[in-house]
Structure 1
Amino acid sequence: MGDGDAESRAIPPLSARNLDDELISLELLKEDGRAEMLGKISHWLATRHEDKGGAGDAFVQQRYDALTRLKSATLAVLRKENELNEAGGEQPVASQQEGSTTASLPREQRQQLTERDPCVGELCVALEECLVLGLKSRSDEEQPSWWHVLYASTLIVDEPTLVQSVLSAAFLSETDGGKARCWLKIALNNHTIESSIMMILSMACEHLIRNNYEEWSLVRCSEGLGLFLELIIALRDVHFAIEVSGEPFHLPEAAEAAEPEPGTESNSGEMVSTITDADIAAAVGASPSRAGSFLPPPDAEPVLVEIEDVKDLEVQSAVIVAEDEEEEVILLPSALFPHRLKGIKPWQYVFGVSLASLSKNPYHSRYALIDPLLALPNIVDDCVAILRQNPDTPRLFRTTVLSIRLNQLREIVETEGSVPKDLDPQCAGALLLDFLKNLPDSIVTDDKYDAFVAAGQLRDEEASVRNITCLVNDLPVHCQIVLKRVINLMHFLQQPEYSEQNGVDVFTASTVLAPVIAFKKDTGSGMPSERARGRTHSQYQDVRYAAVGAQVVERMIQHYATIFHDVRVQVVDALERLEAKKEALRMVSHQWKLQPQMNFLSDRQQVNEISRLFREHLEGGNIPSLSLPENSVAVQAAEFSIAADLENESQSNALVSLELDLRGPTVATPPTSATSSGEPSPTTSEATEQDLVSIWEQFGFNRPTILGNFEKGGVLLLRAILYWLKNDPNALSLLKMRALPSELPSYDAGLVVSSICESLVKLLKLFLTPKHPEIDIVAMSLEPFWELFDEDMYFNKLFMFMFQVFDQLWSELDPKAASFTRVITESEGIVNELLKKAPVTVNDLRVEWEEIRTRRLEESEEEEEELEEQGELVEDEVLRIAALSDPSLLSPPLRYSKKKPSFDVKPDDYKSKLLDESIILTLEHIAYIDHALPITSQLCRWFRIYSVEANGSSLETLLILAKKQSPTLLVVKDAEGNVFGGFASDEWHRAFHYYGTGESFLFSFANPSAAGGFVKYQWSRKNSYFMLCSDESLIMGGGGNFGLFLDSDLSRGTSGACETFNSPPLTTSQEFSCVQVELWGFTTGDKPTELGERHRKSVLD
C-alpha cells in the first residue's frame, strides 16, 4: 500500500458501530451455535492526524494500546486452536468448506494449548498488561503487581473457586509478580478467569479498586472495561493446559509472532474480529476525529503535540451544561451514551438529566401532572418495584453487569419511557445505581451536602437523627421523594429475613448508595476540559464520598421511620387525595347509569325540590322575559356571578325534605311560596302523580312518568338539573318558553338534557365499559382539562354551561330549519374545542365562549351588510341554511385564538429559551409559539438547525442539517413582514408520500383579531397530509391547496386554504417571497454535539 493510500484511509465514525451491536452479534452466535467465520482480521489503520489533545491523551493512548494488544492476542489464540482442531479432527474437508467448524466440539475434546504455543505467552502478557495498567505502586522501586488486589479480593468476595485458586498460587511462588502469574495460568486452565475477574471488579470490591488503581486505569474506564471483559468471554471455550509456575511468560520471537494468513475462525473469533479500532478508541475515551492518531506508522517520527485552541477542548469535553434561570439541565453527549446516536429525541433523555426536569416530564414520570409528591421518575419506581418483588436474590448490587448491557437498558428506558417488565433484579439494581450516578446534581444537593455530612458525624445519635430529619424536610420535593424511595428500599432489603440471601446489610447498603446520592459536585480547576469532566460522575466515584457519605446514609437506613416520617405522611395524603379523586371520577359513570328511585331519600328529595321550583314558577305569575340573543352574553355573565354567590345557599336548600310519595299522598309541611301575594302554595299531599307530570310537561319534560325523564342520565342528570335550576335565574323561564308553541322553535327539554349529560360524560372521557371498567388516572392527567376536575361541582357547572350554549345556537336558527341533531352536534363540538384550551374552571370556558360568540355575531352582521349592499339578501338566507350542514363553516372563529391569550404573556420569561439568535422571532413570538407546542416540547430549549442568513438559501442544505432532528419548528418571514410557519412532528426527509403525525400544526401571526395576531391551526382530521418533501419543494398540509409550500431555493412559496389543518392562507396573499427562513430543534440541554460539529464545516464539503 502506498503512502497516498495510507493517508486516504479514515477511521470509521463512532456512530458506525455501537457496543449494542456487539452484544446482539454475540447473542446471535450463541443461538446459532455455529456461524460463518470471518476470513480476515481487522487491519489497523495507519492514518496520522495532528492531535490537539490534553494531558489525559497519554493515558488514553495506554488504554488503547493495551486493548489492541489483547485483541490481537485473543484472535491469535482462537486461530491457533482452530488450526489444531482441524489438523487433528476427522471432519471431512468438504463439510468444513461449507462452513462447519470444530467450535461445536466439547471443550475437553479439543486440542490443548500449552505454554509452548507462542500465542499463549502473548495472551498472558496482554492480560497482565491490562490488569496492571494504572495500578498504584506500593513503593518507588517495586514493580506494580496486582497480587495484592487479587489477594485482598478474597477477603471481600467469599467465593470458593476464587479463594482456592488464589491460595494455590500463593504456595507456588515467592514473589508477588510470580504469584500473580501463577494465578493467571490456573484461571486459564480451570476456565474460571471470566467469573473470577467479574467478581474482583464487581461493586463489592469497589473500594478496593478505587484505592489501588488510578482514575485513568483501564479497569476504571467503564467502556474500556466492557471491551476487556468481552475479549475474556471469547476465551471461555478454549482448552488451555499451561504449566503453572512463577516464571515470566514466554514471548514469541519476531518470526514466530508473524501473523498467520487469514482463514476460517471460530464463533468467538468472529465476535472478537467485529470489535473495530473505532470501538476501542471510543471505549477508551478518544473522540472520532482523533481515533486514527493512536496507531502511528512504523516509520513515523515523534510529533510534538501542542494545545492550539481551547475551544476544541470544550467541544470534546464530557459534559454539555446549559444554565437556565430556574434550574440546570445537564445533557451528557452520545460519547457517554452510545445509544443516543440512534436518534432518541431530547425530551426522551433520562440519564444525565436533572430530577427537577424528569419530575415535570410526563413521559418519564407517570404522575408528573397529578401531584409533585407522587412525581417519581419511572426508572426509579420500576427498578425499586422489581427489587422489592425479589428481595432474596443473591449478591444484590454486587454482581457485575457489563456496560454493554447497561447501554441496552438505557436505550430501552429512553425510547419506551419505562423499564422492561421482565428485567432481572441484578440488572435492575445496576440500572438504578447507574441512573443515580449520572444525575447532574446530588440528591442531597450541593448546598446541603456539608450539613448532611456534619449531621452524620455527630456522636450523639439522637441529635444526629434530628438534624438529618430537618435537612431532609428542607430538600426540594423531587429530591425528597426519590431519597425516601431509595432509602426505604435499602431498609427493606437489609431486614434479617432477606439479608441472609441477598447479602445486603446496613454497611453494604450505605457503601453502595453513598457514592451516588451523597456527593458534592466538583467544579474542578485548571483546563476547561478538566472543569467539564468535574461535572460528571465516572464509573467509580471518588473514594472519599463513599467513606464520608456512608455515615449519613447508614443513619438514614437505620432510622428510616423517624427521618422520613413527615415525607411519608405527605406522600400518604397525596395518595389518598388521588384515590378520592379517582373514585369521584369513577362515580360519574356509575351515577349516569344508576336510575333514581323514589324509595331513596336523596332521590326523592331532589325530585320534590325540582317539582317545587316548577310549581312556584307557575304560581308566581310573572315569568321574566328572556333577553334577545344579541344581549344574552352580557346578561348571562352578570347572572353567573350572582349564581356563584347563591351557590352555598342553594346547596343547603337542596336537602330540604318535602316527603312526596308519588304512589300515594303523604302528610308533609307545605313550603312557603315566594309569590307576590305571600299566600302559601297548596300542600304536596294534595297533588297527584298526574298533576305533577302535567307540571313537568309545561317545562318540556314530556315522559309519562317523572322518573322516565331520567332513563338516560340517571342520578347524575337529576342532580345536574337541580343544580342548574337553582343557580341559573333564567332557567325556569327558558324551559317554559321553549316548551310552548311560538314563533321561536321549541324543543323537548328532556331529550336535550339527556343528550347533554351523555355528551359531557364522553367528552370528559369518564364513560366506563366492560373492557375499560376503571379510570386510567395517568392517561387522564395528560388531558388538557385535567385541572377542571379540581373545581367543586364541575360537572353540574359544565352541564349548565353546555345547555346555555345549546340554547344560544338554537335561537340563531330559522324556525323552518331547526334541527335538534345538528345543534346538539355543534354544541358538542364547541365544548370539545373549548376543553382543549386547558381550562382551570368552568368560568374560563364561559369567558372563552362569550368572546367567540361575540366575534361570530359581528362577522355574521358584517357579511349580511355586504350582501345587502349587493342586493343579495335573499340568496344569503339560502347560503346560511346550507352552511349549517358543516359545523366548521358555521363557526369559523373556533379556529382562532381569543383576543386575550389564555396564559400570561411575559416575554422576559423566554429570554433563555433560544440557544441561538433568531433574525425572525421576537420574545413575544416565542411566548405564543411555545404555549402552542406539545407539552414534551415545552420542556425543551430551542437551538437553530438552519437559517438562510447562516447557511444559504437551499432546501438541500436544510435537509442535510435537519437529519435525525425531530420534532422541528419551521419559521418563515416574507417580504411583507408576515411571520408564519409550522411545527413538524417527524424528521424532514425526501419521500414520495406524505408522512408525520397529528401533532403537526401551522401557525401565523397575520390575524389582527387574535391575541398578538397569533393563530394555531391544528389537525382537522379530514386527511393526513402533514409533511411532504422532495428535491423541488417542502410542503405542509394538503387537500384543496397546500397549507405551506416552499420551493427548492427557499426564496418563494405559496399558502392556501387546506383541509389538513382547516387553515386559510397564512399570509395576506397566497404567493409570497421569503426574506428569512429558519428551522429550530428542541433539546433539554445544550445544542447536540453532532450538530455543533456539523456546523463547523461547509455543507458543500
Structure 2
Amino acid sequence: MGNTDSVVVQKRLARFRPDEIPVIDGVFDRLIETGSSVSFGKTGKVLSVDMLKMSMGKMTSESMIKRVFQGIHSVDPGVPLPSGGGVSREQLVIFLADILRGTAEERAPLVLAMAEEAKATAATSEQIQGLVEDLVSAAVQTLIYRGHLRAWQPDRMGDGTQGARLLAEQLTSELKFSDQNMCDIPCLEDWLFRIPAMAMFLELLIGEGLGIGLPSRPPPTLLPQCRYAPWSDLHCLLHLPLLMFLSPQLPAGYSAPWSLLFSTNLHGESFTRLVGNCKGRGPTVLLIKDTKGHIFGGFASQSWEVKPQFQGDSRCFLFTVFPFMRVFTCTGYNNHYMYLNKGQQTMPNGLGMGGQHGYFGLWLDSNFGHGHSRARPRCTTYGSNQLSGEEDFKVDTLEVWGVGQPPEEQEQDEKSKKSILDADPEVQAIMEMTGKTMHSQGLREPEEDEG
C-alpha cells in the first residue's frame, strides 16, 4: 500500500489485521501476473475479465465471473478510473473489503451491480433470481473443486443442478419486492441483513476463487459433516444445495455429524425395520419422495419412541424440497409435534408429524408405502400446506438421517465430565499425600447405591 492510495482504500484495508493487509493488497498483482495478458491504461495496469477467468474458471461459470467483474467495475474508488474498460487496484481492494468484511449496506450496491449489467437503481425479480442461482451453483462447484465436502459424495447424491435452482428460488422468495416487482438498494440491504447465507456464498466464491487465505477468517462451512453413509450402495435423496438449506434450519447445538439410519434403497420397505433403526437414536431428519416426484420431510428434535401419545417439542418442523424449498415451523396451536406407534388396535399405527389423528401434516402408515399429508387449508401444528403431490400418497423413496448426538454418546460425555478425583484415584492419593486441600470433596452429592 503506497501513499497514492485513496482515503477510501486506506479505510477499507484498516478492517484487516496487519498480517492480512499484504494479502488483500497483493491480489491485484497476482491476478495480473497469472493472467493471459496484461492491459495498460493511462493510469497503469488494469484487471480484465479474462484475468479473473484464469483464477476462478474452474470454480464457477463464465456468467458468474462476468458478474463478479461487473461488481468490481461498479466501485467508485475516489480516484481517477483507468481507461479501456478494465478495473484498477483500488476498485478491487474496495470490492474485496466490502465482500469479505462489509456490512449489508456496503454489499447491497455490489449485489445490484452483479445482478444488472447497466448501472441501474433497481433490478427485477428475474435478474436477482439469475444472480442467486449462479451464486449457489458457484458455491457448490467451489466446495467440490476445493474438496470441502466433509465426507459427502455428490456423485452418489441427488440432482445438485436442480437443487441450486430450488435454493435460489427459496432465497429470492425472502426478498420484499416493490409493487412493480423491483428490488432497489434498500430492498437488498434488508435482504442481506436477514439472510446470512448470501454473505457466506459471496465470501466462499471470492475468497476461494481468488485464492485469498485469511488466518482470522477461514472459508465458511456450508455443509454439515457426514459421519456414515454406505456410498458404494447408496444413491440418496440429499444433494449439496439441500444440505446447505437444511443445516442452518436445525436448532443451535445440533451440529453433530449426519449418519444414515434408514433407506428404502438399502433396508427395504419395512415399517418394523424403520422403527428399529430410528428408535432411540436422537434427533433425525426424515426425507420422503412420493411417486408423483414431490420431496418433503420433517425434523424430529428428539429420539423417536413407540408410544400412543404425541412427543417432541417446538423445535421440530416440516419442510418441502420439491417442487420448492420451504420450512414450516411450529405455530403454537398445539403440541402434536411427533407421533410413533405400532401394534395397537385402539390407536393409529404409524409415524406422524403435526395435525391430528387422521389429519397429519405428514403421516406414514405402518402399512409401509402409504401415507398422507392432509392440510386444509394448513396443518395446525406447523402451518404447512400439503407437502405431497396428492393428499394420499405412495412412497417412492424414504430416508432417515441422524443429525444429533445419540443418547448413548451423551451419557458417555456426561461420564467423561466426572471429577478427576473419580476418574483417577491415584491423583486423589497423591493430593492427600502432599497435603493438598480437596475443596470440592465435601460439597459433592453422595452417589446413590446401584444395588
Please give the TM-score of this superposition, normalised by the length of structure 2: 0.39
Structure label with greater radius of gyration: 1
Larger RCO (CA within 8 A; separation ≥ 6)? 2
Please give the TM-score of this superposition, normalised by the length of structure 1: 0.17
Higher helix share: 1
